Every structure is written in C-alpha cells, then in structure tokens.
Structure 1
C-alpha cells in the first residue's frame, strides 16, 4: 500500500480538460489537499461527454445540459481548483518553468509558473486541402461548440439531405443520428469499407445494413472538390460521380494537437504524438502528457501507437496524478484499442489486433469466426452475432477480437478485451465462467466457442479458409464440397460446388477425390467443421473449412457500396427500405405467423418451407427471424419456389417477411419446364475429339442450369477411367481388352490425324495455346457441376472394365436408367 505523502505548496498547471486533464485534476485534489492546481482551457467547457455529441444532434439525447459532465463552476467548487476557461496557453518555458497564457476574450497575455505541468490538448479534426472545404454548411464535430452549430443548422433549416465524409466511429454515429432525424444520408469513404480498423468480412454486415436502411454508401471514392450551387453543395468524387446535399459533416479523422509541445522542444514520437515514458512524463523533466495527444508502445506489438479513446485517457489521468504526488511508482501499460459503436440497429466492436494489423506487422497468427446467438436460441429475442478472433498458432496467445451483431456484443467484447489485456490465451476463453440463464446467454457462450474453435485449429483438426482465399481458388486444383441441405443448395449455390448433405458425407466418400484440396462450406461454418473431421479421419489430408461459411463469403464478396443519389425534394421515408427500394407496407395479415427467431441458418428457411404447406393458395404467411442472412435468403427462396415476397424489413435485428403462397404449376407446365431443363447424351466413342465435344456440350448445358445425363457405353468407358486406377485381377479376355484400349482420358486418340500419338500431342498443345481446357479438366468440371455420369454395366462386363477403374462419382447403371432420363429430355445426342 502506498503511504500518503503531502507536498505542501506544490503547484500544478494542467493545460486542457475533458477526459485526461479533468481526471488528472480531480485525482490530484483527492490525494493532495494542500496543492495549488490551475487548469487552463481555451474553450468554455472543461468536462463534457464528447462521445454523446452525435446523439444530441439526432435527438436521442434531448437535453444539452446532460452532455456537460461538470461546469467550470461546479468542478472548481467541489475540488478547489482554479479553473480558467477561454484561456489559451501560447508557449512553455521549461527552463523557467513558466507558461504564457492569453485571454481569448481580451487578448491580454500573462505568465504563470509551475512545479509540474500536465499537457492534455487532445486532438484536432483533419481538414485536408480539398477545394471548397471551408464553404458554409460544412461542419466538423469535435466539441460542444461544433455540436451547437450543427444542431442549430438542423433545427432551423430542416435539411433534407446530408453527406458524411468519413466512415469511422464518429462518422457512422452521425449518419445514424441524421437518418434518425429524417435526413437522407450519404456516406463517402475513401477506403474499401467502413470502420477501416476492422477486418473486411466483419465490416461487410454493416454495408448490408446500410442497404436495409436505405442509406447511401460510396466506398473506395474520395472527395475531390466541394462546390456551392445555389442552396446546395455539390460533392465531386474522384470517380467522377457527384452527390448533392444541403450540408456536409467532415469526419475524416483526427490528429494529435502537438503544437505547444513542439514549440517547447518536447520530443514528438514517430506516430506524430507526444512521446512519454512509462510514467507518462515527456522528454522534459516535470512536464507530463495524457490523452489523445500522446504516443505509447502497443501492449501486443510493442510499436508506438495512439489511442483516441476516452477510457485510456481517464486511466492515464489517475495514474499520472499518483506519479506526480507519490513519485514514479505506477506504470502505464498502454491501450489495446477497445472500441464499440452503435450503427443503426447493429453494434460493432473491436479490441486488440486484427488480421489486417497483424499481417502488416509481420506477426504470425491464425483466425477463426463463430456465429452464435446473444442468448439461448429457444428463449425469445435471441439475436445472431458474428465473432472473430486472431491468435498465436503456437502458444494460443489471444491477439484480438471483433464482434458485430444486434444484442450482447458489448458483453463479449469486454470478455475478449480482458483476456487480451492480461496476456491471456484462447485456453483462457474456454475457461471463462459466465453468468448463464436462457435469457442472458447459452451454456456454452460464444466466447467459449471461440476458444474451442481456436484449439481445434492449433491441434490441426481442420484448416481455416478465409473468404478471400476461397474466392481466389484455382478450380482445377480444388474440390468444393457444399454440406448444406438440398433445399439450401437450391436457393443459393456456388457454381463449382458439389452438394453432399452433411449426414450423407460418410456414404459418399467415393465421390470426393483425395488428390485435391477439399474446400468445405456450409451456412455458417459448424456443419463444415463436422464434415472436415469426417474427411480427415477417412484419409483426406488437404481439408479446409470456410470460416463463417457461405453467409460470410456472400456478404464479403457482394457489392459493398450502396450508390443512391437522393433528391432534396422529399423527406427520408420513415419506413425501412428493402433492396428494391420499396418501404414496408402496412398489411393486414390474418394468416399464420411463423416465429423462427433464435434459429440459425438453415433453420428459418426450413421452417418457412414446412409452414407454407399449412396455408391456402393466395393466402399470406408472416415469418419473423433473427438470423441476419434470412433477409436475403427469403427473397432467394421465393424466387426458387415461385411464391411471392410481398414485403420484408429488418427492425432492430428482427427480420419480418410476408410471403404470398402461389399456385403450383400445372402438370403440363411442370413437364415442359422439366423437358427444357434436361439434356441427355450417349458417349459411345473414345476418340479424343469426340469426347471433347461431348463435355463441351454437357458443361455448357450445366452452366445454364440444365440437368445433364451422360451415358458411357462400350469404347466410351475409356473416357471415364481413372488415371490412378488400381491394378486389378482380370480374366484373359479382360486383360486383352485392357492392353488394347486407352488407359484414361489423357491417352485417347484422335479420330483423324492421330499419327501414332503425334496428332494427340499437337491437339493438346494447340488447346493450351488457345486457352481451351484439357479434356481432363472438362471432366472435373462436369463432376463439380453435378452432371449425372452413368457407366453401362453390360458394356463393362463385356470389356472387362471394373467399377474401381472409373473416376469418382460415376454411377453404374443399365439401359433402363438411361431411358428413364431420356424420356424427360428434349435433347438426346449420340456421340
């Protein structure tokens, strides 16, 4: 325990208030009643809730006085501090231990001496030299005075449109609050995503939320110029697009205010902040600094960093006050940058290092993503969230965490931050003992699940696959396995994926090649992990599971911007808009209401599928769900099934959709559609050129969504022989056929100009030169497209061909099988 030491007649001067300066002053008084404490503040306010400023502008916080934590009068009276507002410190003389102060009102300058000096100047908004940036009605938001200007403009002028430049925390909070006021909002961001400190796949749900809220979003587009045109401002973007708005909010970022420190010869760090040691003392003795202006080593990387956050500034103030009174006994351990923001109905938070940050620092790491509910799914009101962590693949040390969702985000983020700040590991996540009851969590909390997933990766039970690496896959080297249900597959399929439902994987191992990378995916990643374990334990080595499943992949790869050009002639629609731009109409629904809240993918779609049968044609069904992916899934499901999506909305994370049941197709319509979608062919020849023609036609039809059946008979069996076929025991005739026939597709002859194999080699070279896929690649594409390949059993028996010699996925059948398929086909070829 530190003994209390009182320094009589010690004189402290603090430059700047708010979080860092005000906290330092209050703590100083509590531990040193005899000291003389003077606080200088260039503005009229010394302590205010700057994080609450956007919510006052948006009308969420009704009373302005609630933003003022302490007035100069109340703070001075309670802590016996000499508060001097509207007083600008213009210079420091470290040798004489004096500061020069100028009255903002009178311009009179005087000096004041100190024993110890604290700098808390904060940060200032970045205003780049963009033409027109100083036009009227272009605002920045940093303090109460800025807030008053924006609030007065909004209240007095009732603007219809606004552009927010910059999509960081403050920019997004301003966009939300202006939207709340009924203003049509456009957000412009030069980076390819909002909240650029987060990883792309975590920010992607926010982009989709912008679309649900009908808020314009222009990503990868910087402002080139502002122009005043009559009563509006034209925002000219680098892409050449022009956005018109009644006013502009600049939220491009902030920079440390170091002008006073620089002029005094105080060391400035490599990030541009004031350098301080572990006791928060600057390079000059008895001069200290706190808050947004200082640079300190990051607890994880050890590299210099700055944190523009109120929490660290408050902690620094308390530590510093103790060090100045008791001596240098308390070390500041730095900040891991824990931050959270409300973005419309969603909440997004970050702590520690992201994948992007770790990669930039060259720190080896792995990541995992978990989708989970805010509490037990069977208890009403559960909302989905996405969590991502990064960690050391050897020691398991936790490096960072990101969480996004509708409820429970802050609780999980705080748990992750606590483990990271204490140098904890993914094993500590497993051991977290959380408060559990169905309304609050699940028995296995999402944070526990992150720890379990990470351990599985470290132990090599499966390999994680990011959506970006999945998108860049070389298709001929990869077998993509979709383990979702056939219903899910029919709604949203990936072109080269083969659908084998999870519960059927063990029975279909023969369809999965062992000589390729196996990339598995499901809806959110859980079923993919189970499938990966099945394959790994059945001799498959290169098995990868898509992190976050198809949900994260689709969100990340979809168009992220939402380019809407608003007119200033009408107010923002109060109703939430869907992707078609139509608001949610008020519909009297007297039919069944299906509550799928709490169910994860594919639960809501499956429940919808089962429930639609319970109503009559022409009637409507209302479905409520909390799985974020259901917003797009329900539209896709209606497109596939032919039912009509009347409306949909996302309100605070609960998605409500109204579907009208349409009549089934007549038998004649169904038959016609089936005929148009089904193509069959008999492959009789093993000539290379004829085999090529067969697979060109088959793959082309499959790419157009047609069902394709290929029946291989007699010499055609040689086309589908496996290049790595085992050595089998055959009778005399079987061995003779085996020696006389091509061993696999790579050995096929040309029908003309074969010339002892030279023609075949010339043809392959020519195909490569013209970027035409090899026959082997076309066969792989056919497998991945789900083309039904049937080998004729009778031909196999005659020619001594055994099932083990054929490639994976070929079905063995007879003429009846083929004729059954041909009966439903409107195109039948013999090659």
Structure 2
C-alpha cells in the first residue's frame, strides 16, 4: 500500500489528493495544511470583501470532514511541515493546535507550498490597518476591520490583477480608493499601450492612482494612516491593502537541499519530479520552462495547478506516462466595466529575450455592429515574422473578452499560427459575434503584414519620429480630424485619395492612420499600388495612439474631498450648518443621454440655473467627451464637480451649485472670459462649428460675440424674408448667396447639395441640433450676434433679411468685444 504525504492544500494539494484517491482506493493519503482551510476559492476573496459574494461558506469548497467522508483522506489542518529528512524519507511536523512535534514517513512526498505575499521592510508596515489578501484568514481580518471601523479612504499598494480587483471592490463599498504602483503602468503582464486603456477607464471611475511611485513610509496620525510616497507626496488612508506581488514559498525545499530554478521556484522535470526522485512539486512554487521562451517561470494561477494535480496523480499511480508541457499563463480579470485577458508572452518579454517577432493591434466589436449593444474589443497579438507562429495575445473589452482569449489560447497552446486564427470556426449569430470574429480579423490582419500587403508602424515609433522626410497622412473624415489629430498630420479622407494623389509626396516616408487601422489599410493599399514605395499604416490607429500618449496617472483627485455627517464622500470644505448639510443630499437627476456636444453642457447650464445654492444635479450622458467637458465647465463657472463615473457607457456627473459670489470669484480669478468669433464663411460645417463653440462657451458662463461678415451673413438670414428693394449689384450678389441657414452648403463633398442633406440627416440620427436650433439656442443663451454694416452694404443684404435680435455694427464694435476677450477665432 503506497503512502503519499502532501504538503499544502487548495488547488494543488487538495486536487492531487482527490485524484489519487479516485485512482487508488487502498493508498494512505495525508494532507498537511498549516492554515485553517484545506480547500477554498482564493480567486473569489476580493469579491467577498466587496459583498459581491455575500456568503462566506460559498468560498469554502471542502472541509477536513467532507474530505474524510467522501475521499477517505486524512486532512490535518494547522499542522506545519518544518523539515524534510530525505535520507530516511521522513517529514517533521509542528502541530500548531497542541503545540507538539511529530514525524511521518512517506513513499512519495508532494509539495504544494504556494506563494507568499511580498511584504517589504517599510517603516510602519506592521500597522493594524495594513492587510494582505492571500487566504480566508486575511479576508476575515479585512471584513472585520471594515465592519468595525467603517473606513472611507483606502489605499491599494500594487496594481496587479488582485490589486485592481481589490480596488474595484473597495470602491463598490463606497470608499475613496487610491492605487500606488511602482511601475509605469498597472497590470505589468500587459504591454504598455494595452494597460493605457485600463488607465483611462479607471479615471472614469474616480479612482486615484499614482504610477512610477512607491511607498517610503507608513505613519500613524491619530485615526488616519499617512502613506508617504517616494516622490514626496502624502496620501491619507483609513486602511491599506498590500498587493505588491508574491514569491514562491520554497524555504522547506531549499533547506532540504532540493534544486531550485534560476528564478527561485522549485525546479521540476516534465513529470513534476524534483531533483529528489521521491519528491514532487506543483502549484505556485513550482518552476518549469516556458513553452515559448524556454526560461523557467512560475504560473501563479489556479487553472494550471489543477491540471498539474490531475496529471501528477495519474503518474504517481500509473507510472510516468503523461508529460507536462508548461503553462502559457492564460489569465483574465474584471476591472470595473472592463475585462482584461492575456495569454502567452507579451511583446516586452519577447524583446527582453531577443526573440524575433511582430506585434499588431486590431479593434473590433463584441458582436455584429448592426445588432444593438455591440461594445468595443481590442486585440493585440505577437507572432513570428516568418512562420506566423503565435506567441501571445492581450484582449480588452466589455463583452466577450473571455471567449476571444480562450480561442487564441487554444491555438497558442497547440503551437498554432496566425493562419489558425483565420480558420477558427466560431459560433456566429448577430447577438454573439460577427461573421468574421475579431479573432479571425486579428489573424487576417497579421497575414496581410507577413505577406507584405501592408507595412505597419507602432504608436511609440511614431511618437518619437521627427524629421522632414516623414509625411503623416490622416485618412479620417474632416470632422474626426478637427476633434483631434497627430501633430503635423495632413488630412485627406480615404475616399478622396485616388483624386488627390498629386498632393502626396513620393520621396517621403508616408505614415497613414485612421481611427482603428482599417481605413488606413485601405489607403495604404491604394498608395502601394500607385507607385508609393515607403508606406506604413499605424497599428491600432489613432485610438491606440491617443490612449498610449495621453496622461496615464490620476493623482491628487481626492485633495478637496471629505466625508460628510451622512457618511457620503463630498468635494470641497466640510459644511457646518444644518442647512448646508441637508442641502448635500438634495439631488436633482437629469437625463441627457443621446445628446451630442454641446447639448449636454447646454442642458446642464439650464438645469443648474434652476437650483438653489448647495443643491446638486446628477446628469447622465452617453457622449463620452462629457467626462472632460463637465470638468472644464465646472472650473470655468465656479460650480463644484463632486464626481464623474462611467457605468456600461453611461457617464454620470454629480455637480453642486455654488453661491453666486463664489462663481463670480472663480470666473474673475483668471482674467477675461469673453469669447469673440469672426464668421466670414457660409459653409454648413463651419457655421455649425462656430455655433457649437459659441453655445458651449455661453453655457460655461462666458459672454460670446459672433461678428458676421461677407458670406457669413448668410448664416443669420431669415428663412422667410420680406421683399426688399435692391440695386443691380445687390440683386446679383443675392443670386450667388444662400437664402438662409437652411440653404448652406458643405465645404467638402457637397455633391450638388446632396452632401448637405446627408449631413442634416446624420445630425438628426445622432440627435445633434440643427443649425437653426443652434442659432435659437445661442440667442437664448445671450450670445451677441453682430452683422458687419460694411459687408451688408457690399453684399446687398438688408437688415430686414436678418434674424430678429441680430445687431448691426462695424469694426469698432467687434474690436471693443475682442479687447475684452481671451479667445478670438476666425471661421
């Protein structure tokens, strides 16, 4: 009868014991666990802290009693193995319950000691408000502390998968959460530009985070713990979660003289056998060559540990028949609304190991775009430049990330290529995917690169690129270009390229970009087949570039926050009077979903004007640009932004109305706030731009003056004008000019008036106000409109043809307003 001793429970040890019993009914099996629990769902611990998992018992998968009843396994909790006597095949155990020691013999010893949290020797780190999250006992301490102390400010040190899950769950409990991360990004297994997507999402959740900064000291100040950072900053906390990382717990093995791998893990062969043929290892502490890099690595994941356990038990009973191939580290995490998946090797690792590779980023939808609810999905893959062998992938999105990660992981684990991604036959129906799934599309795009159909350039290469020999070509629409572009780019829409080839130099390096890369590929193919030889498409497009080159950290957002008597978190100085405290909880909710810029800001101003001082307005918006707009609006108007949060694409902004004098002080503190614009164009898109800016500025409290001259006079004409007497030249100009705002043409692609109709239809479908409505709104908001008298005389425009409320003036009237303004635009 074989006797197996197992050191450590949970995924590795407990699963090995269960499989051993199923394979050998007569074997003697003993598990030693120094903790109180033999088998628990450690991946669920953060969600138990956040009350997402409400029942503690649901985390406990097995107990010593259930193991004994079902499997006849002797489980000894609170028994710690402290020494291995390899020569006599004995282990020495400390019974922590009875405070005694004893020995047990073995035929085969299986060690699954796991990993221990890294807890550096930082001054003050032993404070009672500082916790780690590794087991049920840790979690019980955190829950008890939260229930007793009711903390409102939490600091999470370390932004790995567990750290971010803890941040989300503490945020879910209503705490102000600050993350401190030593690296330049969160989730270090990800490549930087993919982590940048997570950074931007965290900002929408009002999570404060510091990157490239570490903790130098914890210092207790009465009821608060001051977290001093290496940068000199100080963050106040009621509690701290340490999630700096883990390291394999190998002291027992090292003391026994068993070989360790170069990375510090327990070195094993393909049968999970250590340098001692009677001792086997698995789980977090075990190190094995990575299938791609060949370097010894640890897999701190429950999935590989469970599979190792099953294989090991089979080999112990049946002989060494199954070989372990190593783990490719497939992982996934929920970060608020985002899901982040990864498998294989990141670009940064390939670069470090000197492995030749190509990486590429594609953006797609979680399902067919024409079916409601499709959400963006970003996939980055790395592969061999010659064979297309797949090396790794990272997937980020809101829906379907798990299945895309699993599809790619299956191909990667089998040593597959990007051509296998192309051929994956997935389950397709509009609510679940597209006919060409994003995984297929990633494979198709990679194939185009290998086959030379397109050359790619990455965001960091373009960001550092300088020189006159480069020509950056933006092939998006003019509207997209105006909303933001890469510095130095020239805008030629992809559909116009064939007609404007002579504008593109053939003696320069052409770098093309669009929103996500698809239109850029079309443009590249056109140019490459028209004699342009040095053409590159930006991988991931402007979307990836903007995420990666923007500000990543989110510091000091809680500087002006405090906790009110009602337990809620507020910005600004604490209120003292009962009237002010009561006003904190009076909130008016406004639905601005579906409105496009500047609609949400205009509605915000109208609604907040109705409120009393200290009242709050909670506005819900689907326009993603509102996150920045509402902060700017509050800064300019002197109102107080309490919070901005995002939930499944809906932005919720909470604003507190300030006293009139406080608003005036805020407005006057930085000088002139007036805005003036000279409008001399009557093209529809330019007229729209002028009114969007004017209405937005007026909503922010600025005095706005629009000075209409020459062709711009057409914008402010009445739709139904009275008959007026004109001389010959006036009549001639009248025939050349538009009748009213409804008759304006587009500056590009007007197509005999069809373009204007398309634009108006598009505006209607996107719930953007018409030009006529914008004019009306501008006048209601106090925007001053002045028609140039000299231009009216030259163009033969009579004052009776102009909209009611338009003033007549000359250059002096304009210059007077311009003198008072801090912004002056010509449109």
TM-score between the two structures when normalised by the length of structure 1: 0.72
- Give the counterpart of 1:340 among 322, 332, 336: 332
Correspondence 1:524 to 2:555: no
Distance 2:217 2:681 in 1: 57
Matches within 5 A, 1:381-530: 381-530=373-522
Could you give the per-residue CA deviations for residues 283-303 of structure 1, whole angstroms, max 9, x where no partner exists?
001100110010001011111
1:161 is displaced (CA, Å) by 0.3
- Give the counterpart of 1:190 among 182, 195, 199: 182
Tell me the residue number matched to 1:147: 139
Matches within 5 A, 1:768-779: none
Matches within 5 A, 1:194-209: 194-209=186-201
Correspondence 1:68 to 2:54: no
- Give the counterpart of 2:341 among 336, 349, 369: 349
Correspondence 1:101 to 2:93: yes
Tell me the residue number matched to 1:367: 359
Tell me the residue number matched to 1:10: 2
Cα separation, partners in 2 of 1:469 and 1:584, compared to 1, 3 Å:
farther
Matched-pair contact (CA < 8 Å) for 1:434–1:445: yes
Tell me the residue number matched to 1:135: 127
1:566 is displaced (CA, Å) by 2.9
What is the DSSP-based 3-state SS (H/G/I as helix, E as strand, rest coil) of the residue aligned with 1:476? coil
Matched-pair contact (CA < 8 Å) for 1:575–1:584: no
What is the DSSP-based 3-state SS (H/G/I as helix, E as strand, rest coil) of the residue aligned with 2:54? coil
Could you give the per-residue CA deviations for residues 467-490 of structure 1, whole angstroms, max 9, x where no partner exists?
111100113121010111111111
Matched-pair contact (CA < 8 Å) for 1:370–1:387: yes
Matched-pair contact (CA < 8 Å) for 1:536–1:543: yes
**Structure 1 residue runs without a partner (length 5+):** 1-8, 596-604, 659-667, 676-819, 827-831
Tell me the residue number matched to 2:776: none
Could you give the per-residue CA deviations for residues 33-81 of structure 1, whole angstroms, max 9, x where no partner exists?
0101011100110000000000000110001000001111111211000
Could you give the per-residue CA deviations for residues 751-785 of structure 1, whole angstroms, max 9, x where no partner exists?
xxxxxxxxxxxxxxxxxxxxxxxxxxxxxxxxxxx
RMSD: 3.5
What is the DSSP-based 3-state SS (H/G/I as helix, E as strand, rest coil) of the residue aligned with 1:260? helix
What is the DSSP-based 3-state SS (H/G/I as helix, E as strand, rest coil) of the residue aligned with 1:204? helix
Higher relative contact order (CA 8 A, sep 6+): 1
Tell me the residue number matched to 2:562: 569
1:260 is displaced (CA, Å) by 0.6
Matched-pair contact (CA < 8 Å) for 1:159–1:247: yes
Correspondence 1:264 to 2:256: yes
Distance 1:165 1:468 in 2: 28
1:564 is displaced (CA, Å) by 2.2
Matched-pair contact (CA < 8 Å) for 2:204–2:646: no
Cα separation, partners in 2 of 1:518 and 1:625, compared to 1, 3 Å:
farther
Aligned length: 641
Matches within 5 A, 1:751-770: none
What is the DSSP-based 3-state SS (H/G/I as helix, E as strand, rest coil) of the residue aligned with 2:490? strand
Cα separation, partners in 2 of 1:618 and 1:58, compared to 1, 3 Å:
closer
Cα separation, partners in 2 of 1:670 and 1:564, compared to 1, 3 Å:
closer
Distance 2:68 2:199 in 1: 46
- Give the counterpart of 2:678 among 661, 671, 693: 671
What is the DSSP-based 3-state SS (H/G/I as helix, E as strand, rest coil) of the residue aligned with 1:569? strand
Distance 2:369 2:107 in 1: 60
1:189 is displaced (CA, Å) by 0.3
1:335 is displaced (CA, Å) by 0.3
Distance 1:636 1:477 in 2: 40
Matches within 5 A, 1:171-320: 171-320=163-312
Distance 2:626 2:110 in 1: 53
Matched-pair contact (CA < 8 Å) for 1:491–1:636: no
Distance 2:79 2:43 in 1: 24
Tell me the residue number matched to 1:654: 649
1:655 is displaced (CA, Å) by 3.4
Cα separation, partners in 2 of 1:150 and 1:654, compared to 1, 3 Å:
same
TM-score between the two structures when normalised by the length of structure 2: 0.73
Tell me the residue number matched to 1:738: none
Correspondence 1:163 to 2:158: no
Distance 1:636 1:386 in 2: 28
Matched-pair contact (CA < 8 Å) for 2:81–2:91: yes
Cα separation, partners in 2 of 1:210 and 1:483, compared to 1, 3 Å:
same
Could you give the per-residue CA deviations for residues 573-610 of structure 1, whole angstroms, max 9, x where no partner exists?
98999xxxx99975444x8x649xxxxxxxxx7xx79x
Cα separation, partners in 2 of 1:172 and 1:332, compared to 1, 3 Å:
same
Moved over 4 A (4+): 571-577, 582-586, 617-620, 622-626, 629-639, 646-650, 672-675
Matched-pair contact (CA < 8 Å) for 2:590–2:620: no
Matched-pair contact (CA < 8 Å) for 1:161–1:566: no
Matched-pair contact (CA < 8 Å) for 1:649–1:655: no
What is the DSSP-based 3-state SS (H/G/I as helix, E as strand, rest coil) of the residue aligned with 1:545? strand
Distance 1:636 1:453 in 2: 39
Correspondence 1:57 to 2:32: no
**Structure 2 residue runs without a partner (length 5+):** 572-583, 609-618, 654-674, 683-794, 796-810, 816-827
1:400 is displaced (CA, Å) by 0.4
Matched-pair contact (CA < 8 Å) for 2:627–2:644: no
Matched-pair contact (CA < 8 Å) for 2:570–2:642: no
Distance 2:520 2:625 in 1: 19
Correspondence 1:19 to 2:11: yes
Matched-pair contact (CA < 8 Å) for 1:383–1:653: no
